[in-house]
Amino acid sequence: MTVRRSFAAACLLSALLVPAGVQAWTGKDIDKWSTSCTSGLTCSLRYEDFYEQFGAFEFRRSGALSSDVTLWLPKPPGVSRNLDPGGIFHLAVDGKEVLRLTLQQLKFDVEWGKFVLTDRASVQILLEALKTGAALQLSYEGVTGKFSTDMNLAGFRGSLFFIDDVQGRRGRNDALLAVGQNVPEGPDSKDIESIDDIPASIRDDFIAPGGSCTESFMSDDLKRYNGFDISMSGIRLVLVPCSEGGAHNQGYALYRGYYNGTLSRISFPDIAEGKPSVSEVEYNVDFDPATRIMTAFLKDNGMGICGLWHKWELTLEGHLVLLEKRSWEECDGSRDGPESFPLEWPVGGQP
C-alpha cells in the first residue's frame, strides 16, 4: 500500500474524531507580545500573562484591503455588560491616560468572551501612543471592583512590523508601522469562517446534493479549518475544507480565478511512481502570499514527525508547480520537520 493510500485510510478510520484543522501558517513571539496570522492573512497581536487579572489583551486586523484594526479587551472577573453598565476601562501609556472607554462604547463578542473596540480613530490614538511608550497600564473599575495590569511594550513595535510584512503592507499608506506612500493594491484576503464566506459560484460543491465535497463537508465551524479567499496580482485562490478530517489531518479543495472571473477547481500537481500525476484533495494546506509558496503535510498517526509533504510555487500566471515531494514513514522521532524528510522528487536529493 502506498504512503498516500495508507494515510488516507487512517483519515477515514479517524473521521469520527474532532478534526484538528491546520494551524496559522505563521507567527512570531517577541518578548511578551505574540503574533499569529492565518492563511487568510487575519493577524492578531496579543499580550498574554495568565498570572495577571486580565488574561489576554489583543489587536486584530483582517487581510482585506479596507480593513481597520480592532482592539479586543479581556472581560474582567465577574463582569457582564448588562450587569455593569457603568463599567469603565482606562488605558494609560507611561502613566498618561490615552483612552477612557465605557462598556457602552464597546461591543461584546459572545464567542470570544471579550469586549471589542471598532472605532478607527480611538484605536489609532492608542496605537500611536503604544509605538513610542515603554509600558501600558490597563485598568477597569465597576460594580464588581477594580482591576489593573501593566504590560511591557518591549517587542510591540517589532510585532507591528512583522504583521505589516505578512499582510504585504510594508511601504503602503495603510501599514501599522512601516508606513510609506504606496497605495494598497493587494493581496486582498479573508478567512473562510462560514458557509456564507464560500463564494456563491462554488458553494453548491459543498452543500448541494451530489456536490463534490458535500458528503464530507464539515460545515459546523469553519473557523478552525483555516480556509481562505485571497486575490493577488489578478489571481484569486480559494481554499475550502473538503473530505473527512481526522485527529491529525484535514483535506482541502482549491479553486482559481482570474481578474474577478469564474472560479474553477484545480488539481495539485504530484509525482506518482516517477510519473506526473495530480491530486484533487491535499491535506493541511498552507499558503504564503509573500513567497507564493504552498505546502501540504499529510501526517501519520505516529508519535514522531512523519508523513507525506509537498511544496508548490504559484507562478505569476496562476499555475501550481511542484517543487518538492518528501516522505518519512518511520515515526521514530529522528526528523525535526517535514522539510528534513528524504526527497521523493526531484530524484537524487539527500536523505
* Alpha carbon of residue 284 to chain centroid: 13
In this prediction the pTM is 0.81
- Residues, the chain: 351
Structural domain of 194: 3-23+187-345
Is residue 37 a part of any domain in this protein? Answer: no
Is residue 329 a part of any domain in this protein? Answer: yes
State residue 50's pLDDT score. 58
Q: What is the DSSP code string of 111-179?
A: TTTEEEE--HHHHHHHHHHHHH-SEEEEEEEETTEEEEEEEE-TTHHHHHHHHHHHTT-TTBTT-SSS-
Does residue 259 contact residue 72 with C-beta atoms inside 8 Å?
no
Please identify which residue in the block is written with the cell numbers 448588562.
Answer: 82
Least confident of 11-25, 68-82, 102-116: 11-25
Does residue 167 contact residue 174 with C-beta atoms inside 8 Å?
no
Number of domains the chain contains: 2
pLDDT band at 331 (very low <50, low <70, confident <90, very high): confident
In tens, the pLDDT along 185-235 reads 778 999 999 999 999 999 999 999 999 998 877 766 788 888 999 999 999
Is residue 66 a part of any domain in this protein? Answer: yes
Report in angstroms the alpha-carbon separations of 46 from 28, 39, 97, 161.
Answer: 11, 18, 21, 14
Are both 266 and 335 inside the same structural domain? yes
Closest CA to 228 of 58, 43, 44, 70: 43
Are both 153 and 13 inside the same structural domain? no
Q: Which residues of 106-120 are buried (b: 16+ CB within 10 A; e: fewer)?
A: bebeeeeebbebeee
Is residue 174 a part of any domain in this protein? Answer: no
Are both 208 and 152 inside the same structural domain? no
